[in-house]
Amino acid sequence: MSEPAAFPTTVATPEGIVGQLRALGVMPGDVLLVHASLRSVGPVAGGAAALIGALQEAVGRSGTVAMPSWTGDDDRVFDPATTPSAPDLGALARLFWQSEGVQRSDHPFAFAAAGRHAREIVRGPLPLPPHGPDSPVGRIHALDGQVLLLGVGHDANTTLHLAEVMAGVPYGVPGYCTVAGAGHVVRVRYRENDHCCQRFALADEWLRESGRQREGPVGQAHARLMRARHLVEAAMTALADDPLVFLHPPSADCEECDAARRSIG
């Protein structure tokens, strides 16, 4: 019989993660919107549940942790108790909405949240466009929340879609989702400011220039932390200058950005 493998030295502890989050600038009482790649954080003692516990401990009892929790399924009615979150939101988001004490919106563009402002963030009917001011991400912005990008880039940063809505960008591609009405099922069509999102990476330059993005390790991941208000302000300034700043130029042959360009009336 061989010896059981020893824990590699790279396993992070929840206490260590809390310390790293504090060093990054996460404060007790924060409303913290988390976009995360569990894989990039690497192994944590206690697993993904312990990482969620560490995020909650970092904001404390008066704080709130939120994550995106929408479905990618356009055709089926969303049930907050059973509908899986979209696979590209990752394993941490999937575990989070299923965790005890976590509340989830009851519409297809759901967010999940736990803590003091959870109900306020997830409440209400389907917001259209999906990420406008009266949506979970809009409420996190109104609450002066912080955005934590945990091993992911700004291409995952939904708050930039809020900035697009607030700036009134001229593009909007058609989408639909399915919701339950009074005793019947309704297909809701909408226009959404969507594209490939790769040029959301511009936010790195804008926020770094003004010292408004903290960066550092969390586990093995590279993490970015910023106030939602600073992010929206920087994006709206850039969008006022060029409303198409987030779209690839036609020469880049990006199918999604080209579709967004074609949608402009």
224 or 248: CB nearest Zn ion: 248
Binding to Zn ion (CB under 5 A) within 100-159 occurs at none
Output the smallest distance, CB 98 to Zn ion, in A. 33
Q: Does 260 bind Zn ion (CB under 5 A)?
A: no
Which residue in the set 32, 196, 207, 228 belongs to the binding site for Zn ion (CB under 5 A)? 196
Q: Does 257 bind Zn ion (CB under 5 A)?
A: yes
97 or 246: CB nearest Zn ion: 246
Residue 252: CB atoms within 10 Å: 12
Candidates 87-95, 206-214, 223-231, 247-255 — which segment interacts with Zn ion by CB under 5 A? 247-255
Pairing of strands 146-150, 221-227: antiparallel
CB 149 within 8 A of CB 35: yes
Q: Does 254 bind Zn ion (CB under 5 A)?
A: yes
55 or 160: CB nearest Zn ion: 160
Candidates 54-62, 88-96, 195-203, 212-220 — which segment interacts with Zn ion by CB under 5 A? 195-203
Candidates 71-79, 121-129, 165-173, 254-262 — which segment interacts with Zn ion by CB under 5 A? 254-262
User: Strands, E, within 50-184: which ranges?
Assistant: 64-68, 103-104, 111-115, 146-150, 173-180
65 three-state secondary structure: strand
Residue 125: CB atoms within 10 Å: 10
- Alpha helices, DSSP H, located in the chain: 14-24, 38-41, 47-59, 90-97, 118-122, 136-142, 159-167, 202-209, 228-241, 255-262
Output the smallest distance, CB 74 to Zn ion, in A. 21
Size of the site for Zn ion (CB under 5 A): 4
Most distant pair of Cα atoms in the chain: their distance: 70
196 or 218: CB nearest Zn ion: 196
| Site track 19-48 with Zn ion (rule: CB under 5 A), x = hit | ------------------------------
Helices then strands, each counted (H, E), the chain: 10, 9
Structure tokens at 30: 């924060």
The residues binding Zn ion (CB under 5 A) are 196, 248, 254, 257
